[in-house]
Structure 1
Amino acid sequence: MRRMPIPQPPASLSSAAAQRERTRLATFYADPANESARYPGTFNAYRHEQVRQALKAAFGGRCAYCETFYDATQPTAVEHFRPKGEVTIAGQRTPPGYWWLASKWENLLPSCTDCNSPRKQDFPAGLPATAGKANAFPLPTEKRRAHHDGEEKNERPLLLHPYFDDPEEHLEFVWGTGTVDDGQIRPRQVHGRESVRGRTTIEVCALQRLGLVANRRRHLIKLIAFLEVVAQRKAEAAKAPGDPDARKAFEDAVVAVRETFTDDDEYVAMTHQVIKAYFARLFGG
């Protein structure tokens, strides 16, 4: 996951149809008898094709949580960061959910099936387990759970949001070990303690599933190969400080990294972390 700017919302979310849906929801839940009820109607505004296309364009066909390209094998799944119809609390699906955010643009994210849907997954350690976000939205305490519009501002979500959080402060990747550990993700240490938000996001969205770790490892192998060329060209240039060809070969190697591993690629957060650390080691600072 990486930090993203909030893209422009599609016009469909401001349409008369979307507003009528919000009015119906507000009217239903204004009745005290329905306070804990499941909404009997359907949520349609967020399903509009403009919403799908806007999210697909903003994230480049990648999952907001794991950054994997899903577009070649599956349609864009519009995920609700705060679940719209019900919330899973202590293992129980509990209505009504964050119904007032059902078509709120900032609450909608593109997600792959594995991050968004509960599925049995294999993990680096332990037996297979069911994981996937679905209706999960964990908080440090249920006392702050929002039940009305605006109350969500008082919550302290344990899940990271790509628009409002800097995931790099909470997540880090394993690389450079030369083992199967490369490509794993783990919570970053924050003030000497493991980031709880990082750990929760990893667990809820299954960001340690073996298939995903293997994909990140393959990406790492290619990235490290490019970075090692930079290191080699730098060493050669240092041995021949007056050789313009050696200097140009070094500069070209740096450019090749930047042109090959762009922000349009998969796993940008990991790429940025690795390049930053590698270059700091290579150049100092």
Structure 2
Amino acid sequence: MRFIQIPLPPHLPARWPKVYTGRLAKVNSLGTHTLRSAYIKKNGSWGLLKKWLANASGHKCWYCEAKSTRAPFDVDHFRPKLGITVDGVKLAGHDGYYWLAYEWWNFRLSCQRCNRPEKDDTDVLHGKANEFPVRDEAQRCGLPTGQLTAESPRLLDPCVQADCELLAHGIDGEVKPVAPDGTWEYTRARYTIDRLGFNEWNTPEDKRSRWQTLATLLAVVGNTSNPAVISEINKHLSHDHEYASFFRSAIGTHRDKTWVEALL
């Protein structure tokens, strides 16, 4: 997970302000969850922002930094729009953050693996879906007039830099919590890693395999810089490269080389 700084208006797609105003007014005029749910499901206009969201991350999933080559990305609502689950159990008495359904700042570009519920080989369920646990349910915002800032989400947010810094990337390809076990920061990192399946679906193996090529180049070149190798290293460090946070961490194990340190 790498910090995503969302491009602020007026850089939104030209059609969005008009669509947003109409959709939001309609949702606010509907008096029941059933009516709101039916309308929002039928009018999922947030897809208009998909290209805008993708450009902000170099066309990578905002959560795991994977690039989707064979399936389209999902536009995830960080705060679920039509219902909430906590550790897989539906939260009673909360209809979801329906008033945020069309708020661009609530959207996160997500690969389908991070967003959609799917069980791994050991029958463990991964995928964000409608998951949104908070530290204290008494502080959960249940109405448009509530204070979102009072909530403390368990799920790490790629749009919060401090959240991204709670994750470490080992050269074994696995994502790990930075904070010590027993802290709220550890709980948040561990939950995010497991819920979104960062270390599932052979992802660590894929990262290790790619790293071996770079590691070999670094070993061959040694302390003498080489323009071709520098170009290759810079490519893996670039913001839009798949798993850039992992490669930055792995390349950082060669900081003893002056020319590598200069790149970092």
* Same fold, judged at TM 0.5 (above): yes
How far 1:65 moved relative to its partner?
Answer: 0.9
In the TM superposition, what whole-angstrom CA distance separates every residue of 1:150-179 from its partner, at most 9, and x where no partner exists? 52111111111122233442111221xxxx
Give the 3 Å change call, closer, same or farther, for CA 46–60 of structure 1 in structure 2: farther
Look up the match of 1:208.
Answer: 199
Look up the match of 2:218.
Answer: 227
Query: Is the 8 Å Cα contact of residues 170 and 190 (structure 1) preserved in structure 2?
Result: no
CA distance in 2, matches of 1:278, 1:26: 55
- Structure 2 counterparts to residues 108-257 of structure 1, below 5 A: 108-122=107-121, 127-149=122-144, 150-175=146-171, 182-189=172-179, 195-230=186-221, 232=222, 234=223, 249-252=224-227, 255-257=230-232
Query: Is the 8 Å Cα contact of residues 78 and 110 (structure 1) preserved in structure 2?
Result: yes
Look up the match of 2:100.
Answer: 101
Query: Is the 8 Å Cα contact of residues 73 and 112 (structure 2) preserved in structure 1?
Result: no
How far 1:220 moved relative to its partner?
Answer: 2.1
- Structure 2 counterparts to residues 25-44 of structure 1, below 5 A: 25-28=27-30, 31=31, 34=32, 39-43=37-41
Look up the match of 2:20.
Answer: 18
CA distance in 1, matches of 2:252, 2:219: 14
Question: Rg bigger for which structure?
Answer: 1
TM-score relative to the length of structure 1:
0.78
Tell me the amino acid that sits aligned with residue 133 of structure 1: K
Look up the match of 2:58.
Answer: 60
Look up the match of 1:47.
Answer: 45
Give the 3 Å change call, closer, same or farther, for CA 48–6 of structure 1 in structure 2: closer
Tell me the amino acid that sits aligned with residue 6 of structure 2: I
Aligned residues: 252
In the TM superposition, what whole-angstrom CA distance separates every residue of 1:48-101 from its partner, at most 9, and x where no partner exists? 55311112222232111111110x201121111111111113533344111111
How far 1:25 moved relative to its partner?
Answer: 1.8
Query: Is the 8 Å Cα contact of residues 21 and 43 (structure 1) preserved in structure 2?
Result: no
CA distance in 2, matches of 1:45, 1:154: 30
In the TM superposition, what whole-angstrom CA distance separates every residue of 1:191-245 from its partner, at most 9, and x where no partner exists? 9956222111112211110322222222322332233244x2x1xxxxxxxxxxx
Give the 3 Å change call, closer, same or farther, for CA 207–163 of structure 1 in structure 2: same
Identity %: 29
CA RMSD of aligned residues (A): 2.8
CA distance in 2, matches of 1:18, 1:96: 21
